[in-house]
Amino acid sequence: MKVSRWVFWMAIATLAFGAQLRAETIRYTISEEGSEAAAAEASCDDCGSCFSCTPCCDDGGLSFSLFAPSEPCFDDFISPMTNPVYFEDPRQVSEARAIYLTHKVPLAAGGGRVNLFALQVRAAVNDKLSIIATKDGYMTSSNPLINDGWADINLGVKYSLLRDSATGTLLSAGATYEAPFGSPQSLQGNGNGTFNLFLSGGRRIGDNGHWLSTVGGLMTTSPAVESEFIYWSNHFDRKISDVTYAFTEFNWYNYTASGAGGIPGVEGGDLFNLGSTGVTGNDIVTGAFGLKFKPSRHTEIGAAWEVPLTARRDVLDNRLTFDFILRY
């Protein structure tokens, strides 16, 4: 579909343009009043890496030798919540993120609810590279087509292409592989797996705002039983107190290749790949709003309410997502 491909490339161009803005916005005013603040802000980059900078890399007393601490120069950012498998934080972080979501299925797809209990893990190898595990967990369901069982497992890597703490600009690229280790009765475990390639960017907006964006696409190794799609997710937040953020998010999915089974004309979004026929060219857009509580750089607690914004809903009527992050 020409329009969808145009939007996809526009998303990539938007991320690239946002990254380029950093070159135009780095301006320091040389004065006694501002020099100390500017030096403190620039120090995160002056030493080459936050990971080697003692003043800006305090780990709060935590100490592990197997992986590097999270990037401290972007501690004012929060992680996105919706499209949890594919909307990736552009920062290099070491964390465990517990997720609970309750997902209402439309009556046209059988109705009922699906509940997912999952744990994502991200481990920074250094200031450029992270290992990420973005999908796993156990689901319970009252939908007649989806039974209780285990989700597939998604593993991959993320690499920083750009980081500028002075302007608050980030750009990363990554890839994941979803292994079909889940339970078939939970509409998992089909095919031989899918690959996800993505670009993820972020930008500080003023003193209290942030924009995050991820664009990517899925490629299946089993086209008969799995569909393919491209996606573009965006997050905008504003800090409304010392520890509280309000945010809104939008997710766009466009199906580029149908499978040979599933539910004709209906697909599964971010959690399920039904491999349905007749979905090529289908679009669905979802919107969400929520709050995050961040009492320290090591902890985030969030809640988000998500609904479809398009007439097409596929398997999503609404979704409530909670997360709890412990970050090193």
Instruction: Report pLDDT digits (tens) over 292-315.
Output: 999 999 999 999 999 999 999 999
Q: What is the pLDDT of residue 67?
A: 86
Q: What is the pLDDT of residue 36?
A: 43
Q: Which residues of 166-184 are buried (b: 16+ CB within 10 A; e: fewer)?
A: bbbbbbbbbebebebebbe
**Size (the chain), residues:** 328
| Residue 30: how many other CB atoms lie within 10 Å | 7
Residue ranges of the chain whose pLDDT lies below 70 = 1-65
For the chain, give the longest Cα–Cα distance.
69
Q: What is the pLDDT of residue 44?
A: 58
Q: Rounded to whole angstroms, how far apart are CA atoms 104 and 313?
A: 11
Instruction: Read off the pTM.
Output: 0.84
Is the CB of residue 163 less than 8 Å from the CB of residue 198?
no
pLDDT in tens, 258-290: 999 999 999 999 999 999 999 999 999 999 999
Q: What is the pLDDT of residue 12?
A: 61
Compute CA distances 268 → 240, 262, 319, whole Å: 35, 10, 13
Q: What is the pLDDT of residue 167?
A: 94
* 3-state SS record for the chain: CHHHHHHHHHHHHHHHHHHHCHHHHCCCCCCHHHHHHHHHHHHHHHCCCHHHCCCCCCCCCCCCCCCECCCHHHCCCCCCCCCCCCCCCCCCCCEEEEEEEEEECCHHHCCCEEEEEEEEEEEECCCCEEEEEEECCEEEECCCCCCCEECCEEEEEEEEEEEECCCCEEEEEEEEEEECCCCHHHCCCCCCCEEEEEEEEEEEECCCEEEEEEEEEEEECCCCCCCEEEEEEEEEEEECCCCEEEEEEEEEEEEEECCCECECCECCCCCCCCCECCCCCCEEEEEEEEEEEEEECCEEEEEEEEEECCCCCCCCCEEEEEEEEEEC
The DSSP bridge partners found for residue 95 are 122, 327
Q: Rounded to whole angstroms, how far apart are CA atoms 53 and 181?
A: 41
Q: What is the pLDDT of residue 66?
A: 76
- Domains defined for the chain, CATH in brackets: 2-17+60-327 (2.40.160.40)
Q: What is the pLDDT of residue 308?
A: 98
Q: What is the pLDDT of residue 11?
A: 60
